[in-house]
Amino acid sequence: MTEPLSPPKRKNPLARTRRTLLPPSARSRTAHGLTLAAAEGRFALQRCGECGKFTYPPRDACPECLSSQLVFVEAPVGGVLVTSTTIHVTGDSYFREHMPWRQGIVVADCGPRIIAHLHADCTDGERVNLSLRLDKAGQPVVFAAPSQRASNMQDDPALREMTADPRYRRVLITNGRHPATEALVRSFKDAGATSVFVGVAEAWKPLAGEDRLGAIDGVQLLSLDLTDQRSVFNLAADIAGKVDILVNTADHVRPVHLFEPAGTRKLMEAVNATVAGTMNLAQAFGPAMAGRGADGVNSAAAWVNLLSAYALANAPEFGAVSVSHAACLSLSHWLRAELRKGGVRLLNAFAGPLDDEWYQSVPAPRVSAGQLADGIIDGLRRGLEEIYVGDVARDIRARLAANPKALEREIGR
């Protein structure tokens, strides 16, 4: 059984903050089929289009029939751990810091023998569940955990390297006026976050639910206006070194018609609130987080962006939201590339219309604040890079994969 994680002590000011080292990260282009599945939390392996056999590791030709029709498809997660080894000594700089480390050979129910990283609770000869994970370098690896759930499984040191579990971590929610703020705060507290900082812009305006938020243990409301570079840097000066998970809730939903006289201004207001806001955050908090990716139990672990699923295809009714969030999506890839060097993940949480004022006229299903918060916590616990919350977002994701042109035409009707 996994030892429960101990709450981290306060930082020793005499000890140097360890630099983040990364596991080997070379992958073939074909192997990024695994990256795609791992980023979304799916278990997918190549399957031969001719003979139907699953294969692993990724290849360009089927080892059974030499067909080149190898397609990544969802695969059954079950398997048996046939043998394992515990590594105590290695020449690899990253793994040296994480000794001992277990690996083993799993015979997957679907056929292939897979060398996998092992959860400490795995026993030779027992059944395991396979999953694809993104390691500290952001590259896909296969991880095997016992098929029977046990307590504290999430605290396994190897698994924690591949996830961004909020337990004992400190969270910053950047826009306290976002409708999901309270649900996010409560979910992070329930997930074991030590403290939650909530940024509030324009402190001179009343804040809905302020009393309730302030009454939650470990919650601090702090002045933060994402559109004001100085405000962002001021807060970073105080707390950037204590933010382990940053949840960027920058948003600005306003209906804009492309041809209306003030359309450009309205678009730029949305861009300013979201893209410039995210850029300000990235500049102020990014370096500190990327520098703390290996800082113990409460290392910097993840950056979360809340994005509209309309970032993936322009929905004319919310055209400015689509444009601004599409730009945020691009910015997130830029930022992810930087954070990855520091071992910090970036999770984009795509959601359809939220159940809030600005989407009042949009027919159901809409995404509730609780649904969004639960999705984010789940995504962090699984170390994902992309989650799609709610039916609308999942539908857009599926249609984008199937036929982007059809999605553009249909959403633009």
Partner 1 sequence: MNISHDSACEALLASVALAIADGGLQVVDLTQTLSPDFPTIVLPPEFGQSAPFRMERISRYDGDGPAWYWNNISLGEHTGTHFDAPIHWYTGRDLPLNTVDTIPVRDMVALACVIDCSSQSDADPDYLLGVADVLAWEERHGRIPPRTWVLLRTDWSKKSGRDYTNLRDDGAHTPGPDAEVMRWLVEERDILGFGTETIGTDAGQASHFIPPHPAHHFLHGAGRYGLQCLSNLDLLPARGALIVGAPLKIRHGSGSPLRVLALVAAKA
Candidates 39-47, 123-131, 186-194, 219-227; binding stretch for partner 1 (CB under 8 A): 219-227
Q: Does 228 bind partner 1 (CB under 8 A)?
A: yes
Give the x-and-dash track for 159-198 against partner 1 (CB under 8 A): ----------------------------------------
Strand residue runs (E) in 28-88: 44-48, 54-55, 70-74, 78-87
Q: Does 225 bind partner 1 (CB under 8 A)?
A: yes
Phi first, then psi: give them for residue 71, nearest 5 degrees: -120, 135
Question: Can you tell me which of 231, 370, 381, 395 binds partner 1, judged by CB under 8 A?
Answer: 231
Question: Can you tell me which of 206, 211, 361, 363 binds partner 1, judged by CB under 8 A?
Answer: 206
Instruction: Find out whether 315 and 407 touch, Cβ atoms under 8 Å.
Output: no
Phi first, then psi: give them for residue 364, nearest 5 degrees: -60, 160
Q: Does 210 bind partner 1 (CB under 8 A)?
A: no
The candidate with the shortest Cα–Cα distance to 169, out of 194, 191, 136, is 194
The DSSP code sequence of 106-162 is EEETTS-EEEEEE-TT--TTSEEEEEEEE-TTS-EEEEEEESS--TTGGG-HHHHHT
The nearest distance, CB 249 to partner 1, in angstroms, is 17
In this complex, which beta carbon is closest to partner 1, that of residue 153 or of residue 268? 268
Q: Does 202 bind partner 1 (CB under 8 A)?
A: yes
Q: Which of residues 9-68 bind partner 1 (CB under 8 A)?
A: none
What is the Cα Rg of the chain in Å? 22
Instruction: Find out whether 200 and 13 touch, Cβ atoms under 8 Å.
Output: no
Give the x-and-dash track for 254-283 against partner 1 (CB under 8 A): x-------x--xx--x--------------
The nearest distance, CB 203 to partner 1, in angstroms, is 6
Structure token pair of residue 4: 């429960």
Strand residue runs (E) in 2-77: 44-48, 54-55, 70-74
Question: Can you tell me which of 17, 147, 220, 227 binds partner 1, judged by CB under 8 A?
Answer: 227
Instruction: Find out whether 269 and 254 touch, Cβ atoms under 8 Å.
Output: yes
Question: Can you tell me which of 9, 205, 405, 413 binds partner 1, judged by CB under 8 A?
Answer: 205
The nearest distance, CB 206 to partner 1, in angstroms, is 6
Q: Does 251 bind partner 1 (CB under 8 A)?
A: no
Q: Does 212 bind partner 1 (CB under 8 A)?
A: no
Q: DSSP state, 228?
A: -
The nearest distance, CB 320 to partner 1, in angstroms, is 13
The nearest distance, CB 205 to partner 1, in angstroms, is 6
- How many residues bind partner 1 (CB under 8 A)? The answer is 17
How many Cβ atoms are within 10 Å of 409's Cβ, its own excluded? Answer: 11
Question: Can you tell me which of 204, 217, 259, 405 binds partner 1, judged by CB under 8 A?
Answer: 204
Candidates 104-112, 201-209, 284-292, 324-332; binding stretch for partner 1 (CB under 8 A): 201-209
Q: For the chain, count helices (H), then strands (E).
A: 12, 15
In this complex, which beta carbon is closest to partner 1, that of residue 232 or of residue 347? 232
The candidate with the shortest Cα–Cα distance to 34, out of 66, 67, 56, 6, is 56
Structure token pair of residue 372: 């969004």
Residues near partner 1 (CB under 8 A): 202-206, 223, 225, 227-231, 254, 262, 265-266, 269
